[in-house]
Amino acid sequence: MKPVCQIQIKNQNKVINKFSLVALLLILSSSVGELLAKKNKQQLVTTKQNNSKVNTASTTKAAKSQVQAIPEEKLAADTNANTITASSDKSDHASSPAGTNNSVSSGDDTVLLSMAGKPVLTVKEFDEFLAEVVSNDPQIGFVLQYDPIRVKEGLFENKVQLMIMGEWAKTSGIRNTEKYQAEEQKKLEQIRLMLDVQIFIQDHKVEVTEADLKEYYEKNKNTDRRLLLSPAGIEAKAVRFEKEQQAKANEFAHKLKTNSKETLENLAKASDLDVSNLGIINDDSTNVMPEIKSAILAVQKFPHVAVVKCEDDYWVINVTGKVAVKYRPLEQVQDGLRELLLPEKTKQMIDVELPKLAQKFKIVENKQYFEELKKQQAAKVGQAEMIDLTEDLDGLDSNIDNANEFDDIGELDGNGLLEDIELEVQQ
């Protein structure tokens, strides 16, 4: 029995997190996004150092604490006169309701966000939110290493916006409307389905074994570009001479052949010519002209020098020798291969386990319904083809009738013309 459903899994430990997606958009819209496009680590470190000069006081506190509390001015600007405050000023602290601590400190209970005088987000809670976002979006974790303050600020702003919208939805009564609850039910069902898949895969854990890695490596090392370092072939270089320079090409090749100490590069430099490095040539090479490729592959003894006519030009080719294929070591690529093979292994597990569960739950599939749909579709296609054929035949008959009618008219015209001629002769 075939599986009830086919599920393509890319990463069994990755869960879709809308918060992380929104946060990523907010972060990448700023200059932080440029960090992801820079592959040079030194440039990233330099950027970090420049940012640390601007935020000396902030980075000093960040080194002592895992999460930095946000300054009062930043919060005030973000909330547009809402009652969300986080102040280190003693007078503000004195005016706060009893039990509310808005001072900036390194404790987990430090309040980062309050609403109507009540704390709604602490450092510890924000820390947990941050860890969840990073675990579900490695790109944010990557940027976090090089510009932690700005990333945390961006995520905090995002969290504040979400909480404000959440409070609006709760207090406005929108959550009690029929439309909201219907949409909520749909989303909850989608979340349940995702969790079902996630937990199912976690419970039926699959593993890419060393044998799996070796098997894939041996079967695909000549075709998978991730495994192939350089292909086997023949190394060659060449120098081009124009069509009227055949004699010079022959002379150049003769010097290169007879003087074992002379190199192609030195001779070309002395003659003010450019050397083309053809690289490794084999049957799959497409970077050289067919005549040159054939001449190189035909060489049996190395080194070898020859003059090849190609279109209107002459090329002196210098074939240095054969090169064996080189592969990346399995140890170097095994992590990437494991990630590559994991989805297929997961799919294989699903193909085995789901039929068992289908039998256990007495699943009955009405496949006849789809067979009837296929027959109906085939019948419609057949009818459409018959209609097209009939229209083509009708058009052909019409053309034939028109041709016959034209012949009849021509015949009548011809007879009439003859009668007119006879009358003229009689007269």
Q: Which residues are registered as beta bridge partners of 277?
A: 237
* Predicted pLDDT of residue 273: 94
Helix axes 138-146, 148-171, angle to 10 degrees: 130
Angstrom distance (rounded) from CA 107 to CA 94: 19
What amino acid is encoded at 105 in this protein?
S
CA distances from 345 to 47, 350, 363 (A): 41, 9, 25
- Judge contact between 159 and 129, C-beta under 8 A: yes
Q: Which residues are registered as beta bridge partners of 235?
A: 280, 321
Q: What is the DSSP letter of 110?
A: -
Angstrom distance (rounded) from CA 222 to CA 235: 19
Chain position carrying tokens 């504040």: 160
Q: Residue 227: CB partners within 8 Å, gap ≥ 6?
A: 217, 220, 221, 327, 328, 333
CA distances from 407 to 133, 410, 412, 414 (A): 84, 5, 9, 10
CA angle at residue 239 from 236 to 244, to 5 degrees?
Answer: 140
Angstrom distance (rounded) from CA 224 to CA 56: 49
In what order do the strands lie in the sheet containing 313-323?
A: 275-281, 233-241, 313-323, 304-310
Angstrom distance (rounded) from CA 163 to CA 295: 72
Angstrom distance (rounded) from CA 101 to CA 93: 7
* Element housing 175 (H / E): none
Would you say the pTM of this structure is higher than 0.75? no
Angstrom distance (rounded) from CA 32 to CA 48: 10
- Judge contact between 32 and 148, C-beta under 8 A: no
Helix axes 123-136, 138-146, angle to 10 degrees: 120
- Judge contact between 281 and 293, C-beta under 8 A: yes
Helices (H), 225-289: 246-258, 264-270
- Which of these, 94, 71, 67, lies nearest to 84 by C-alpha position? 71
User: Is it true that the peptide bond before 303 is cis, omega within 30 degrees of 0?
Assistant: yes
Per-residue pLDDT of the chain (427 residues; tens, 9 = 90+): 443 333 333 443 443 344 444 444 444 444 334 444 444 444 444 444 544 443 443 433 433 333 333 344 443 334 333 333 333 333 343 333 333 344 444 578 899 999 999 999 999 999 999 999 998 888 888 888 889 999 999 999 999 999 999 999 999 999 999 999 999 999 999 999 999 999 999 999 999 999 999 999 999 998 898 999 988 999 999 999 998 999 999 999 999 999 888 899 999 999 999 999 999 999 989 989 999 999 999 999 999 999 999 888 999 999 999 999 999 999 999 999 999 999 999 999 999 999 999 999 999 999 999 999 999 999 988 888 877 777 776 666 666 556 555 455 444 454 554 455 454 445 4
Rounded to 5, what percent of the chain is helix, strand, coil? 60, 10, 25
Q: Beta-carbon neighbour count of residue 345 at 10 Å?
A: 17
Write the DSSP assignment of 189-241 as a string of letters.
Answer: HHHHHHHHHHHHHHHT-----HHHHHHHHHHHTTT-TTTEEE--EEEEEEEEE
